Structures are given as C-alpha cells and as structure tokens.
Structure 1
Amino acid sequence: MNDLLKHVLDTRLNRPMHRRRFIQGAAGLATLTVLGAGGSAFGEEKLGGPLNFFGYDGEQGANVAKDFLEKNDIQLNAAFAGAADETLTRFKTGGRGSMDIMTMNKDFQRSVIDAKVELFQPLDLARIPNAAGLFAGFKDANWLVRDGKTYGVPMIWGDEPCIWNPTKWQGVPDRYTDFADPKYKGEIVLLDDPFGNIWLFAKSVGVKDPSRLTKAELDKAVAAMMTIKPNVAAIGASLGDMADIMIRGDASMGLGGWAYQTIIAKQKGVTLVVGSPAVDDRFFWSDAYAIAIDAPNLANAYGLINFITSPEANATLATELGSGCTVEKAYDLLSDDMKKLYDYSHVRAPGAGILGAQTVVPKQEPEGDIVGAQAWVEAWQAFKVA
C-alpha cells in the first residue's frame, strides 16, 4: 500500500485517534481514571505481567484503566496503528504470537471476518461478564458475529453529521448536492477524507450502496462534489482543524463533521449546532476490542476488555474520546451534554439499526467492475486540485 493511501486511510479509519488528540490538545480536558476497580476478569483467574495492545491511540484505555492496571500488576505495552489494515500487516509480518488486544473499525473488521482471514479469535463471553450490559444493538452486531461466534466487543461509536453556526443558517438542505446553492459560497468546510465525502455524495446522487462504486458511479459522485467546490472555504486536515475553522468564523457549515465539535465550541464561547440532510442523512462508525489468534497474555486481555465494558469505565472512555458509549448503564453516567451528542435509539435496537446496516469504507481491492480504495483516493485528490 502506498504512502498516500496509508495517509487517507488514517483520516477515516483512525478517526478516534484524531478525536482524542483534539480533546486533550485544543480542548485541554483532563484525562480521567476510574478508581477502585481492581480484581480479576473472570472468577479467580490470575492477572499480571505484560499486555500488548495494537490499535488506535486512546482506545487502549491507559488513562481510564490506570488504577485497574496497577492493582493487577499489568504492564500495558501499546503500539498504534495509523490505518486499520496495519493491524493485519503487523500480524502477518512477525506479530503473530505477540499481539493481545486490537481495536478495529467496524467496516474493516467485517471484511476480515467475511474473508475468513486469520487475525481474530472467537471470544469466550463468559470471561467478559460485563459484555452482558452492552446495548442490544451491540450484543448481536452483524459485523462481529459469524456462525454463532463473537469476534469483538464494541467500546465506542458515533456518527458524522453536519455542524453549523445557527446565527448564519437555520438548518441544512435535504441533500448534500443542495450545498451547490450559491448562498453557501465561502461558507463550507470539509474534512480531508476521500471515503466519507465520496460516500455522502454517492448517496446523494442515488447510488444504492455508496461503499461499492463502479467507475461510472464514482465519476458521478465526484461530479456532484464539484458542484459545491466553489462554495468550499477550506478543507480541514483533521476534525480538530475543521472545528477550529468554524470556531474562528472562517466557515459556518461543516459537512461530515463531529458532534463533539459543538461542546468544544461551547467551551470557547461559540455556538455550533448539529443536524443532517433530511433525505441523505449521515454515516455511522464503531470501534471494537478484539483478541488476536495466539495471544500470549490471554487472561490480561480478557481482564482489560471486561474492565472497559463496566458502566463506569465505558462512560469515562466515551467522554475522553468524545464518542458514544456502548454499555447501556454507562449512558446514565454521562453528562447531559454527552448524552445529547448521539441518537441512542440506533444502538438500543437489535442489529443496531442503521449503524449495523451501513458500510462506508470501500474494499481495498477492486471486485469486478467495483473500484477499490485507490480509485477513491485518486478521485479525491483530483477534486482537491481542480
């Protein structure tokens, strides 16, 4: 995979890493630790020694689980992925037998499980009793369960709506293609993300499955994006950059944004609101813990996953990462502002509603007349320089 593709995959698939850095940097929020939560993961199973994590920065839960790790004498060794496929690459190039816990974007994990590629081991949920407290939508997540076996435990989720300044706009149009209206000239900010933007506009022009595009459908989606290009004031390098642009007033309408940006803006004395086009709506994401095949520190892996899925720890992690919680009782522990960020009716429904039905990230390789991720990357680069 070339460097360009690795960069853009980082933008979409590693989104929680950018969220955490933004929260602790620009927002300046203190990290949180859940106290008084020692003990073993399952029965009298003995914990202690190393625990090797590979995944998205922040999702190892080092701050949240600090007391748990210390009480159980667990040494957390964390290495971070810049893109979802790096985990599989690490596993295949000497990592097997040394990797314990991994975190995964739902679309990538779905593709690995469906392809029956060796990476994850099926989980013994008896060793993760706190997983019984997951929202209904995560208990039978179709991207994690195959043939009655579960391969991951979701820890955070979210969506990517429009964010705007209510002093400038009363709402958003019905479709993303409607942002071509000249009244938006110089007001729109996008994220530097080929997959999210192309997906949204492919949906807006009527493609049935916007994650699987033919060359003609990709061209149609990009042509629709080009109609809004005269109205784009900036393309943010990250979600944090995108938020700063709106907080400064250099743009007033963000497409494919992040609900937590409204809280960050509020802390800086700026009001932003969130919503989505009535017809086109928005897309969703979720990340989960998984355990590698041949994990050498299995008890510690199960112990940490069980700890993070306790209501207190899950609420704290969701708050730290500006995301939705996955444990039902964790919701009651969130602040009012955090509760308002996401529509929990989706994850309360069996199958997680649209969260389970959607796939956003395209396949990395072409399949027949369906183009692969590289074609999306090249199309996005062409859009930016046009």
Structure 2
Amino acid sequence: MRDVVKGLLDQKLNASFSRRRFLQGSAALTAVTVLGSPRSASAAELGGPLNYFGWDGEHGANVAKTFLDDNGIQLQASFQVSGDEALTRFNTGGRGTIDLMTPNKDFQRAILESGTELFAPLDMSRIPNAAGLFPAFKDASWLTKGGQTYGIPLIWGDEPCVYNPDKWDGVPPKYTDFADPKYKGELVMTDDPFGNIWVFAKSIGAEDPSKLTADQLQAAIDALLSVKPNIVTIAASFADMADVMVRGDASMGLAGWAYQTQIAKEKGVTLVVGTPAVDGTYYWEDAYAIALDAPNPDNAYAFIDFMTSAEANAAIATELGSGCTVEAAMPLMPAELTSIYPYDIVRQADGGLLGTQVVFPPQEADADIVPASAWVEAWQAFKLS
C-alpha cells in the first residue's frame, strides 16, 4: 500500500492541482484510483446518488472510485469557490439536495457557534473509522457542540514561507520585514485576501488578526503596501506560485504551502520552508460534514467511513499534498510528504494552535469589527494600487 500511495507523488504536476480553493488553489490533481474495497456490509442500504458540494479534489473521486462502483453509488460533485458558498446554496433552494460538504475549520466553527442551520449532527456509530483520528481531531472544539459532532477531519496543513536556500539562509522574524529593499524583485504571494491580510495584521500587532476594525484593516493593507514594491507577481494559485519560484523569477514565497517544495523537487529545483519566528504561521483543516435534510444519508455515512480508513486517508492526503488526519495513515504515506508537516501539533489532544487559531474573518460586521467583504474590498484596492 505504501508504494501505491507513494506513486501519487510521481504524478507530474504539469496538470494544475488544488488543495483548498478558499486559499486560492487551482484545479484538482490528476490522480489514479488507488484503492479497492469489498462491498459494504450495508450494501442493501446503499446505491444511487451522493451529492457533494465542497472543495475541488476533496470529493475523493479517484481514491473512492472502486468503493463507489462496488456499492452502486453515483458521486455527483459540484465545487465551491469560497468558504461560505455551501451556506448560500443551502439557503437558496439547496436544502434537501446536498448530502456531503467539506467545510474548513473556521467556517464550521462560525456556523456552529452562531446556531445557523447547515450541518447535521453525526451518528458516530456509523463512522467507526473515526476512532483512528489523531487526538487533535477527536472532539475538536470547532467540530462539536452540545456533545454532538458535526464533522470528520479529512486533511490539514500550515502556511509557511517557501524559499530558495541558495539565495536566502532563512526568513526574517516578521512579515513586515519583507519590506526591506534587499527583497526587491524576489517575492511572490498568492491572490488570497484572507491569509495575506491575516499574517500582516498579526505582524503589525493585532491582538486577534481575524477580527479587525476598519483602522486595523487599513494598517494591515498599509503594511502590505510597504512590501508590494518587492513583489514580482501575485500568483493565481499555489501551483503558479511554485512555478514562479521554479523558473527563478522569484526566490521567496510568502504564506505558501509546504507541498510546493515537492513540486519544485519534481522539477529539479530545491526549495525549503521557513516560518517567521515572531509572527509564526497559521493552520487549516477541512472536514467532511453531512447537510441537514440530506437526501442520501446512508451513502454519505458509508463514504465518510470509507474515506476515514487509514488507506483512503493516506491516499487523499497524498493526492492533495496535505497532512493526514488518521494516525495509522501516516506510515502509509511518503516520508518526503509527512516530513514537511508538524505532526506534533495533531498529536496533542487540544490541537495546540490548530485548535485555537481562527483565520477567517466574520461574515457580518460585529460592532466595530469589519466583515469578510471588507477584507476582500481592501485586498482588491491593494492589488490595484
């Protein structure tokens, strides 16, 4: 199994790929079917549609193909392009049509805390493979409410800087330090308002960089503007960002993705990761969730349980270049992939920063705290300036 999963890394990244479009990924990895499965014990209850609405690539069509075929399940996938789009669809005629979603942790936390209807509480007896999750993902605060669980983590990761070690011997302590003229013509970042504003808000000292006043938001944009003269390009995706560095057009990627080091390695270029010592990094996680009034709950439960097996979790994490969430999946993955993520965090019962950190801003204004739409508008103004 390890050799088969490792083979996914050999899929050349000439095709575009994605991990999470919330952070401006591109299209999904081209991959192969890696797993077969025995026909489900509850096969009599399975079959027919499984309606997926979530991040491109996380529907697991390649990994689960044999499972779906064996159980007569037709995966019907539609993809979101923003973190809150599932809620919009649910509230505009989609209720009763969606089975499976893949919310990121900040969005799921916000929905549960607000009491907004979207996620169905899960019957954990129908997902026995969830017992194998890393400690951080069992009863995680962003997945549970009132003693009930609403999501099963699929993949996770962080956002370090990625750089050419022949050019730099490390990264500076703070993101604002990238304003130094020595970085002129060397920087690249992705077209991601949330991640970039968050790290620069943290760098200028915002107590909670996910909750900014209008003045704090402008201060973060001003900090970004001080760095902009050094930026070669704002890449459309993580794949584009990696290509810019592989070509040598830039040597430092801000708030990147650890898997970009593997992309570069495939193309004969050495890149490494580093985290500003003062500002740190931020962490993300995506989970499977079942929608309220899902029309095909049996298919959804069986699919989630299958994808939470060690083999399937290893395969999907490898396909998406991310951290696995099932502990027994880790030995099945290529060491060059598992070595680039800080697994000590997910071995902690509380998840450390992963469990407490919030990156996504609120959807609605709250007193003097501006909403996500204000971040997007500010980012657009930054790009045009």
Contact 1:40–1:46 (CA under 8 A) maintained in structure 2: no
Greater alpha carbon shift after TM alignment, 255-264 vs 374-383: 374-383
Contact 2:37–2:70 (CA under 8 A) maintained in structure 1: no
- 1:214 and 2:213 equivalent? yes
Matches within 5 A, 1:127-142: 127-142=126-141
- 1:235 and 2:234 equivalent? yes
- 1:84 deviates by 2.3
Give the equivalent residue in structure 2 for 1:48: 47
Tell me how far apart the structure 1 counterparts of residues 38 and 311 of structure 2 sit (CA, whole Å).
Answer: 9
SS in 1 for 2:45: coil
- 1:195 and 2:189 equivalent? no
SS in 2 for 1:173: coil
Letter in 2 for 1:366: A
TM-score by length of 1: 0.92
- 1:14 and 2:13 equivalent? no
Letter in 2 for 1:38: R
State the superposition RMSD in angstroms: 1.7
Say if 1:172 and 1:84 are closer, same or farther in 2 by CA, change over 3 A. Answer: same
Say if 1:186 and 1:263 are closer, same or farther in 2 by CA, change over 3 A. Answer: same
Say if 1:74 and 1:187 are closer, same or farther in 2 by CA, change over 3 A. Answer: same
- 1:37 deviates by 4.2
- 1:301 and 2:308 equivalent? no
- 1:12 deviates by 10
TM-score by length of 2: 0.92
Tell me how far apart the structure 1 counterparts of residues 19 and 229 of structure 2 sit (CA, whole Å).
Answer: 24
Contact 2:19–2:25 (CA under 8 A) maintained in structure 1: no
Contact 1:19–1:322 (CA under 8 A) maintained in structure 2: no
Give the equivalent residue in structure 2 for 1:58: 57
Matches within 5 A, 1:96-245: 96-245=95-244
- 1:16 deviates by 7.4
Identity %: 60
Letter in 2 for 1:264: I
- 1:144 deviates by 0.7
Give the equivalent residue in structure 2 for 1:89: 88
Letter in 2 for 1:18: G
- 1:286 deviates by 0.6
- 1:323 deviates by 0.8
List per-residue Cα deviations over 1:20-72 (Å, max 9, x = no partner): 63x43xxxxx424212343236xx76322221111111111111001111111
Tell me how far apart the structure 1 counterparts of residues 335 and 100 of structure 2 sit (CA, whole Å).
Answer: 32
Tell me how far apart the structure 2 counterparts of residues 126 and 12 of structure 1 sit (CA, whole Å).
Answer: 29
Tell me how far apart the structure 1 counterparts of residues 283 and 379 of structure 2 sit (CA, whole Å).
Answer: 21
Letter in 1 for 2:198: W
Tell me how far apart the structure 1 counterparts of residues 302 and 41 of structure 2 sit (CA, whole Å).
Answer: 6
Letter in 2 for 1:348: R
- 1:141 deviates by 1.1
Say if 1:62 and 1:12 are closer, same or farther in 2 by CA, change over 3 A. Answer: closer
List per-residue Cα deviations over 1:298-324 (Å, max 9, x = no partner): 111100000000000000000111111
Letter in 1 for 2:250: A
Matches within 5 A, 1:329-340: 329-340=328-339
Give the equivalent residue in structure 1 for 2:12: none
Give the equivalent residue in structure 2 for 1:35: 36
Tell me how far apart the structure 1 counterparts of residues 146 and 46 of structure 2 sit (CA, whole Å).
Answer: 30
List per-residue Cα deviations over 1:264-302 (Å, max 9, x = no partner): 100100000011001111111111000111112111110
Tell me how far apart the structure 1 counterparts of residues 202 and 94 of structure 2 sit (CA, whole Å).
Answer: 38
Give the equivalent residue in structure 1 for 2:9: none
Greater alpha carbon shift after TM alignment, 268-277 vs 350-359: 350-359
Say if 1:19 and 1:384 are closer, same or farther in 2 by CA, change over 3 A. Answer: closer
Greater alpha carbon shift after TM alignment, 291-300 vs 375-384: 375-384
SS in 2 for 1:271: coil
Tell me how far apart the structure 2 counterparts of residues 15 and 38 of structure 1 sit (CA, whole Å).
Answer: 34
Runs of 5+ unmatched residues, structure 1 = 1-10, 25-29
Letter in 2 for 1:31: V
Letter in 2 for 1:98: T
Runs of 5+ unmatched residues, structure 2 = 1-17
Contact 1:40–1:47 (CA under 8 A) maintained in structure 2: no
- 1:354 deviates by 0.6
